[in-house]
Structure 1
């Protein structure tokens, strides 16, 4: 059964919140034209916005992917404009690994554990998770930060991904697993944001 492990960086150069070693996050294809077809699209924007805030407190690198933005538009402004330094990788393939720049980002940040969210679970999310697992990258899928058009398709994709070794849990489960206990320097700030959810 897949499980999550997060190793803290204890080097002197690490930030006040001890960034998680070898862990990164991708928020996939949160473009308005795609979100319009998803019933809980507004909720997904809010949950991914919270994810960005929480992961930044914990020092986890974050990136976005965009599916053919020249035709489908950009990532919604609430997410994209929160931090203009977060990289955005354009892709034509459904898997994020079709964007060479994404693979370069993974290597540059030495990412061996990928947190995945966004849309759509049965298509781009699914193929990205499968490709990551093939490369021996651990995958955690955020159940409350992902979505799609049809519930049945989402459930089938998640069932398959679990069988392949993907860990599927909520955002809060991941965040508190990273912190491990209330002595973490980011605990108070994280707790405040989570309480206001």
Structure 2
């Protein structure tokens, strides 16, 4: 172990694995380390906590708030006993939109791309009306082009390039850290079975509630799309639609922005071939 890393013993259930993390690592790094080692055994439908072994008390104690790794220690990952039902409530103050890789070069390859563009634009309009932050990624824009012109990114909090498939990169995490009340992510874009799925799973692992907008995501293959939707739904990700999201965010006919949102959804979202393949 070099001077920049600290040895840690990571325990889950009956298993223990020695490892190391960088000096100064906090809760998020520890979660990712646990998932990298024990991910297949951890049921993400459950809430969980990390505990630290205390020499003073000779037993494990709840990890103190703001804890960082500074010396050799023993940690255990503890799922809580009760399964947690995800209610899927959405309110603007705790919601952020993730728009993933809706780029020009994907236009000829992605099935029903025109339909998911039009639905994505409705979501972006709704976000502006309701004051919801929007984070936008572009996969290798040098080769794949920028976000399509039909989608108006005016007011987006962050537009960033990436090469990793998941959107959960330092740029996006920093933007989320600046939005401390956010707990729900509305996710849409391409491809369903690659960047969308990997982003959704990474967000779920970090404790966010993920709403995946089925009428604004697609793939080159409908089989890939179908099985990705099924896998995400089983994992606890909420598979929903754009109209459901927008009306849930408004919540009341008397909401001051209801009329503006109603104008967006007066024309129903396209009932394209996406529907028959879900």
Structure 1 unaligned spans of 5+: 8-19
Match of 2:111 in 1: 39
Equivalent residues of 1:94, 1:124 under 8 A apart: yes
Equivalent residues of 1:25, 1:115 under 8 A apart: yes
Equivalent residues of 1:51, 1:171 under 8 A apart: yes
What do the CA deviations read for 1:48-95 (whole angstroms, capped 9, x no partner)?
A: 11111112112211121000111111111221x451654212111000
**Would the alpha carbon gap of residues 131 and 85 (structure 1) be closer, same or farther in structure 2, given more than 3 Å must change?**
closer
**Would the alpha carbon gap of residues 137 and 171 (structure 1) be closer, same or farther in structure 2, given more than 3 Å must change?**
same
* Structure-2 separation of matches of 1:157 and 1:38: 15
What do the CA deviations read for 1:23-44 (whole angstroms, capped 9, x no partner)?
A: 1001100011123201311111
Aligned: 1:106 with 2:176: yes
* Pairing of 1:87-98 with structure 2 (within 5 A): 87-97=158-168
What do the CA deviations read for 1:163-189 (whole angstroms, capped 9, x no partner)?
A: 111001101101111111101111111
Aligned: 1:124 with 2:195: yes
Match of 2:126 in 1: 54
Q: Which has the higher helix share?
A: 1
**Would the alpha carbon gap of residues 68 and 41 (structure 1) be closer, same or farther in structure 2, given more than 3 Å must change?**
same
Aligned: 1:3 with 2:3: no
Match of 1:65 in 2: 137
Match of 2:235 in 1: 164
Q: TM-score, normalised by structure 2?
A: 0.63
Measured after TM superposition, the shift of residue 102 of structure 1 is: 0.7
Equivalent residues of 2:100, 2:187 under 8 A apart: yes
Structure 2 unaligned spans of 5+: 1-84, 269-278
* Structure-2 separation of matches of 1:61 and 1:86: 6
Runs of 4+ that moved beyond 6 A: none
- Give the match's secondary structure for 1:168: strand
Q: Which has the larger radius of gyration?
A: 2
Measured after TM superposition, the shift of residue 3 of structure 1 is: 3.1
**Would the alpha carbon gap of residues 183 and 84 (structure 1) be closer, same or farther in structure 2, given more than 3 Å must change?**
closer
Q: TM-score, normalised by structure 1?
A: 0.88
Aligned residues: 183
What do the CA deviations read for 1:126-174 (whole angstroms, capped 9, x no partner)?
A: 0000000000111000011111111111111111111111001101101
Q: Which has the higher strand share?
A: 2
Equivalent residues of 2:135, 2:156 under 8 A apart: no
* Structure-2 separation of matches of 1:115 and 1:85: 14
* Structure-1 separation of matches of 2:93 and 2:153: 23
Match of 1:154 in 2: 225
- Give the match's secondary structure for 1:75: coil
Match of 1:24 in 2: 96
